[in-house]
Structure 1
Amino acid sequence: MSPQKRATVVSTSVATLLLVVKLAIGIASGSVAVLASAIDSLLDMAVSMFNFFAIKKSEEDPDDIYQYGKGKIQAIASVIEGTVITISGIYIIYVAIEKLIQGNPTKLLTPSIMAMLFSIVVTYLLVRYLINIAEKTNNLVIKADALHYKTDLWSNAAVLVALGLVALTGLDEVDAIFGMGIGFYIIYSAYEIIVEGIEILLDKSLDGDMVAKIGEIISNHPEVTSYHWLKTRTDGSTNFVEFHMVLRPNMLLLEAHRIADEVEEKIMKLDDKRRWLITPHFDPYDDEDINVAMLHGKPLMDLEKVSQ
């Protein structure tokens, strides 16, 4: 089992344990904050299970139908996870408003506080573990899971503060207000996860620094006259790079292939945590204007004028 799949199994198990503890205490005590945290753990469990299957699919080798692999399943999983987090935040806000209106009392404060302390310790250990796996694998799903549980850590701390204030002041409204704040924070935290997943689905280029380094590697090769039409994207686990490099018109194909291998080897060293699929194109002269014209759908006659 790969480290990233093992991480989803661990996070699912932890979420299940915390769900049982929080749900029992939340229902018994009537605390909106604890109940909201239990709902969040239920969603954590479902999302982590989904992530396991998403990673399993994304690791499958390319085939005749999916020739570039299924890496974008990770991005789809991130968007779904972010959406689920957002929905849970909205529901928590709804429950908090309902408690403010109805004024339901909070009971069993001591067991609730103990349950949240236990949850904070366990969640902290899980976050450290997921961050470690994310740094080693650079896997988008694990990064999203780590961010998700990191927000849980802060929300658990907020629940603990809310319960402490209720115990000190006797004001049950504090529980509802903190629960509402947690709901808004959860929605805010989901935004980054959703955006990153959508950017991958829309084939956003690699970050500017990475693209600049790739261009520098190509242009610095002593036998490359120039380059153009550099395009990059990622599916979360594989970086895709295409470019045209201008070589001597009379160069042997064997020499051109050697140059491409040397350039590709240097590019792949920029990030050894991800796979690379690099597609170079050999040009005997700079035909960037023709490529741009083709991109804009110019007729063949116009392209002939550009090349002259």
Structure 2
Amino acid sequence: MNDNASLNRSAAFASIAVALLLVGMKVWAVFSTGSTAMLGSLADTTLDLVASLATLAGVWVAAQPDDENHRFGHGKAEALAAMFQVVLISISALSLAFRAVNQWIAGARPEGAEGGIVVSVIAMVATVALLAWQRYVIRKTKSLAISTDHVHYQSDILLNLAVIAALALDQYVGIAGADPFFGLAIALWLGWGAWGASQQAIEQLMDHEWPEERRQAFLEAVARHPEIKGLHDLRTRTSGDRDFVQFHLAINGDMTVRQAHVIMDEVEAILKKEFPGVEILIHPDPEGHVDPTDMSSKDLLAKL
């Protein structure tokens, strides 16, 4: 576990280092070229830096053990960090779109395309190296936070290609509106990314149920135990990198408490093998018992 934590931290620090390098270069490029597309790339890279810092903080807090005030852990710190990023990305996208429209109306054009293109190429090389390290870490640790960061940096390759295209079309082909057009496109792309990130974060904060396919696989695993007569009131949720499940199992009502406890342990062992890391809470019911307070009194295993 300590090795995984060290690898995750190394990937987070690597993304911070790359973002710092690229922010410095792109600040120079923006002032040298006056390009709106380059400004959009700078905004995205700045957000990458903030996102990496927030991811590092979120992963660190989420990894803290349960305590007296947080009995379900600190996993939602990752979702809170994501919502913070969404706010920043949305503000950046609106500002960039406003600048692009103004540039289009004013007819302003970028200068010194060569410098901006060189910076974008260097940015792509640094990003490719970072992605390679992140892929290695993800294979080793299966970290959700690093996987999300990896997806974000993958999109930076396309972003830098867009900047190169905007500068080249404006300076070498003579298409005057190329730079604000690509700047506006980048703003829309940032807005779409913010929307997607917000949906994932909201799902965790609102304790959204697992996807139906995973719930079905969970039910099928439970059904393999021969003593189980039914299952109902299945509730699932995810908090950071931790999953929680609780449900009622119907068993032979003539069993002793000790016998029922053995059955619950056996079911839990089956589930732990197929769903490692999931925290499970099982309530045994005598077969045929119906609790009117349950979310659903129907026998879910009857559908299998």
TM-score (norm 1): 0.88
**CA distance in 1 between partners of 2:67 and 2:27 (Å):** 44
User: Which of residues 34, 41, 50 in structure 1 aligns to 2:38?
Assistant: 34
Q: Distance in 1 between matches of 2:33 and 2:78?
A: 38
- Paired with 1:25 and 1:196, the residues of 2 have a C-alpha distance of 34
Instruction: Report the counterpart of residue 159 of structure 1 in structure 2.
Output: 163
Query: 2:273, 2:87 → 1: CA distance?
Result: 35
Equivalent residues, number? 293
Residue 127 to residue 57, structure 1, CA distance change in 2 (3 Å): same
Query: Aligned to 1:242, what secondary structure does the other structure show?
Result: strand
Tell me which amino acid in the other structure corresponds to 1:198: I
Structure 2: distance between partners of 1:201 and 1:279: 20
Contact 1:228 1:288 survives alignment (8 Å): no
Give the superposed CA RMSD: 2.1
2:207 corresponds in structure 1 to 203
Number of the residue aligned with 2:289: 287
Equivalent residues of 2:40, 2:96 under 8 A apart:
yes
**Deviation sequence 1:3-33 (CA, Å, 0-9, x none):** 2222211111110000001110111111111
Q: Comparing 57-66 with 212-221, which one deviates more in the overlay?
A: 212-221
Deviation at 1:119, TM superposition (A): 0.9
Contact 2:32 2:115 in 1 (8 A): no
2:58 counterpart of 1:58: no
Is the 8 Å Cα contact of residues 62 and 73 (structure 2) preserved in structure 1?
yes
TM-score of the superposed pair, with normalisation by structure 2? 0.89
Q: Which runs of 5+ in 2 are unaligned?
A: 298-304
Q: Which runs of 4+ in 1 moved over 4 A?
A: none
Residue 178 of structure 2 is aligned to residue 178 of structure 1: no
Cα distance in 1, alignment partners of residues 158 and 86 from structure 2: 17
Question: Pairwise mapping of residues 289-308 of structure 1 onto structure 2 (< 5 A)?
Answer: 289-292=291-294
Amino acid at match of 1:279: L
Shift of 1:294: 10
Uncovered stretches (5+) of structure 1, i.e. residues with no partner: 296-308
Which secondary structure does the structure 2 equivalent of 1:292 belong to? coil
> What is the distance in 2 between the residues matched to 1:286 and 1:77?
45
Deviations 1:243-271 (A, max 9, x none): 11111222132322222222222222334
8 Å Cα contact 1:74-1:140 kept in structure 2: no
Of 104, 112, 119, the residue aligned with 1:115 is: 119
Q: What is the percentage of aligned positions where both structures have the same residue?
A: 29
- CA gap 1:264/1:235 in 2 versus in 1, 3 angstroms: same
Equivalent of residue 4 in structure 1, options 4, 8, 25? 8
Residue 131 of structure 1 deviates from its aligned partner by 4.4
Deviations 1:52-78 (A, max 9, x none): 111111000001111111001111112
- The yes-or-no answer on 1:15 pairing with 2:19 is yes
Q: Counterpart of 1:124?
A: 128
- Please report how far the alpha carbon of residue 220 of structure 1 lies from its aligned counterpart in structure 2 after TM superposition: 2.3
